[in-house]
Structure 1
Amino acid sequence: MILTFSIVGYDPKEKEWGIAVQSKFLGVGAVVPFAKAGVGAVATQSYANTAYGPQALELMAEGKTAAEALEIITKDDPDKEMRQVGLIDASGNPATFTGTYCYDWAGGITGEYFAAQGNILIDGTVQAMAQTFTETSGSLAERLLAALNAGQEAGGDSRGQQSAALLVVKEAGGYGGYNDRYIDLRVDDHPEPIKELIRIYGLQQLYFSKSKPENVVEIEGEVREEVVAQLRRLGYLNSEPENEEVLHKAFTAYLHTENFEEREQEAGKIDLEVLAFMKGQ
């Protein structure tokens, strides 16, 4: 695994750990990122030793710091000078390693709650990621994506783009609260994978985030007219609904078909973000 840049990070308030990565490589999300809630996150790349991920997470689960785990996983690897890896531990301590045989430009930077690294890059890529992560506000996912995008804008991989991934974990953060995979998104092959990753992150937030109270309104007046128009255009109504029960039934069918259960409101109300999505379909 070559031609890659990544950033691992931690949000101490939300207790989230995550990785964002881009590579001139097919399906980078299947190789580089590893994370476990309450333990840490790992990005392993540049002729990646994928055993580094599980090994480092196990060590950090035992209480080792990122730096201690890094030393242990690399010390007996005969090819460690071809490897690159970034870690963040349970407390947000970072560590990064770049082997001497990684192709230029190669290196890493650590700062408060992050480690950024990459190889075969335009010089300045990792620095741009580090600065952007530090200066950007918002959720961990948003900061990681902003950093990744800044790295690309600064030059990115010297040989181009192909795939990107975002993995964020938090306790009971997965679908239904059954696991820790809060956000797990991949773009396996795309001419602009980071832009596509940002786009599908927006969809992930639309589908799985809770409605903001200020966006929930009554289905009446102009809003009702728009809802009816969109339901008719999309085939959920054939004509003006006879009554509110018919409208509610059609709208509920739309919500469930489009997997908007997390945005579903009590009868007679709608999340305006859902209406905006309907209008854009």
Structure 2
Amino acid sequence: MTFSIVGRSADGAAIGVAVASKFLGVGAAVPAALVNVGAVATQSYANLAYRPQALALLSTGVDAESVVKGLIAADDGPVSHRQLGVVGASGPGATFTGSDCHDWAGGVSGDGYAAQGNMLAGPDVVARMQESWLATSDALPYRLLAALRAGDQAGGDRRGRQSAALLVVSQGRGYGGTSDVWVDLRVDDHPDPVAELARLLTMHSLYFESPDPDSLLPLRGDVADEVRARLASTGFTGSDLDDDLASWAGVENLEMRVVSGAIDPLVLAHLREVTHVEQP
């Protein structure tokens, strides 16, 4: 009783899943992804064993359509109630909807994606997800979220809203470059989970992504004077502005946006938000 989209970035470097449901903690059950391998969403009387099985098959070079067929053929449970979507590191995605899934139920797939849902407000939910996916070219987390939002705005799960999740993997894109998990966000119980997921993704970008080099402001002149004064108001009064800024940013969980000799405009905006300094 869920709607989801599995997708791959145009360059194949990122793969992920976005999902929403009137179900507690849907992110704990539906999505799985492995960098350079693929992603799977299992739902509607979900068989959670599909997650490692699908990724194992994809890792051997089996295409998404064959993975779906293999999972269904090997399942000795209520296959007619199952639904899943799979995308690999290349080629088209694939989707399956069992004949006994609660109406409305169905899915669509194409090059690099598959969208599906059951117990939906109607076929427009999946259609709007597909339209959004095809119409956007944002970074994968935002593209998946946009498709999920489109499905939610078309009615989503006809029982209502409760949870949503976003999982995206890409080599070295995790915190500090030490993980392949780029985004792993869950809203387990909320009256508007897709909107809350969007809020969390915005926060994630601020805290965990590196700044745009072209946007950096050199730490000199008026910028340096303002930063020094604002840092001093928080107790950072050392002789080295770079060190003070880095220390303050660490306290604020903004260490991923620290660049020696410059300041990220987003960091400056946050510094202004949390400090008050009289301007001359």
Q: Which residue of 1 aligns with 2:277?
A: none
Cα deviation, residue 176, structure 1? 3.6
Q: Does 1:259 align with 2:246?
A: no
Partner of 1:79: 78
Separation (CA, whole Å) in 2 of partners of 1:138 and 1:154:
21
Q: CA–CA distance in 2 between the matches of 1:249 and 1:179?
A: 27
Distance 1:60 1:261, change over 3 A: same
List aligned pairs for 1:157-172, cutoff 5 A: 157-172=157-172
2:269 equivalent to 1:271: no
Q: What residue in structure 2 maps to residue 192 of structure 1? A: 192
Query: Structure 1 residue 145: deviation in Å?
Result: 0.6
Deviation at 1:277, TM superposition (A): 2.4
CA distance in 1, matches of 2:30, 2:160: 18
Moved more, 194-203 or 47-56: 194-203
1:20–1:164 CA contact under 8 A, matched in 2: yes
Residue pair 1:236, 1:251 contacting (<8 A) in 2 also: no
Q: Count matched residues.
A: 272
Q: Which residue number in structure 2 is paired with residue 209 of structure 1?
A: 209
In the TM superposition, residue 251 of structure 1 has moved relative to its aligned partner by: 2.3
Distance in 2 between the 1:253 and 1:113 partners? 42
How far residue 121 of structure 1 moved from its aligned partner, in angstroms, is 0.9
Tell which deviates more after alignment, 20-29 or 178-187: 178-187
TM-score (norm 1): 0.90
Shift of 1:194: 1.0
Contact 2:164 2:194 in 1 (8 A): yes
Q: Structure 2 length normalisation: TM-score? A: 0.90
- The 2-side partners of 1:88 and 1:25 are apart by 24
The answer for unaligned runs of 5 or more in structure 2 is 275-280
CA shift, 1:178, in A, is: 3.5
AA of the residue aligned to 2:257: R
| Residues 219, 40 of structure 1: alpha-carbon distance in 2 compared, 3 angstrom cutoff | same
Residue 57 of structure 1 and its aligned partner are, at CA, apart by 0.9
Shift of 1:23: 1.0
Unmatched segments (≥5 aa) in structure 1: none
Alpha-carbon distance in 2 for matches of 1:228, 1:194: 39
**Deviation string for 1:71-126 (max 9, x for gaps)?**
11111323011111000012132110111111111110112211000111111111
Give the structure 2 partner of residue 100 of structure 1.
Answer: 99
| 1:156 corresponds to | 156
Q: Tell me which residue corresponds to 1:6.
A: 4
Distance 1:63 1:248, change over 3 A: closer
Post-superposition CA distance 1:195-230 (Å, at most 9, x none): 111111112222222211222112345434543454
What is the letter of the counterpart of residue 252 of structure 2? E
Please say if residues 215 and 273 of structure 1, whose CA atoms lie closer than 8 Å, have aligned partners that are also in contact: no
